[in-house]
Amino acid sequence: MDKSSRAELREKNIKFLTKVTDGVMWWIGSIQSLVMHSIVFVAAFALPVLHIVSIDKMLLILTTVLSLEAIYLAIFIQMSVNRSHEHIEDIREDIEEIQDDIEEISEDIEEISVDIDDIQEDIEDIAEDEDSDDHNERARNVMLKSNVSSNKNDIKAMREVIANLQKQLEELKKEGNSLSSEQ
């Protein structure tokens, strides 16, 4: 068997064992487990009463079984803690990436706001230049003025988009802060 086949087999076995342990951990915390344990305990204590087994043997067997169960439960609990820690680390990395993205978006929004302000100033300059005496300049300004109202609407729409983006950005920051504080 070559190295890659062994690695694949090992990975497959690990996935299978992970599935089994997840199932066992889920079952241990279920109502079915509670019912089954209760039945076993009642049966264990009923055996000496029915004179099937001596109380000493029953207690020895019950204590041994419970000790083994406690060992396995401790292992399952530690596995769950380890897995949870891995998930928390993944979430922490995702939050950091989101915060970086939020900062970049915030910078982009600021740049867009500056560009919009520059465009607004240019539009106002064009509107002021309309009063010039040159006929060609007037014709050009008339055409630009007709575009001014269209541009103003576009600017207004862009500002609304920016406002929405800023609201979403604040919400993402709040969510990121709340996730960070939960950790």
Mean pLDDT in residue range 51-77 = 92
pLDDT at 34: 92
Query: pLDDT (tens digit, 9 = 90+) per residue, 107-122?
Result: 888 888 888 888 878 7
Most confident of 96-100, 115-119, 169-173: 96-100
Question: What is d(CA 163, CA 171) in angstroms, rounded to the nearest whole number?
Answer: 12
For residue 93, the SS3 value is helix
Residue with the two structure tokens 């690990």: 14
Confidence of residue 21 (pLDDT cuts 50, 70, 90): confident
Q: Residue 43: exposed, middle, or buried by beta-carbon count in 10 A (0-12, 13-18, 19+)?
A: exposed
CA angle (21, 23, 29) in 5-degree steps: 105
At 137 the pLDDT is 64
Indicate the domain borders of the chain. Answer: 88-182
* Segment 167-177 mean pLDDT: 75
In this predicted structure, what is the pLDDT of residue 119? Answer: 80
Q: Is the pTM of this model over 0.75?
A: no
CA dihedral 162→168→170→173, nearest 10 degrees, is -130
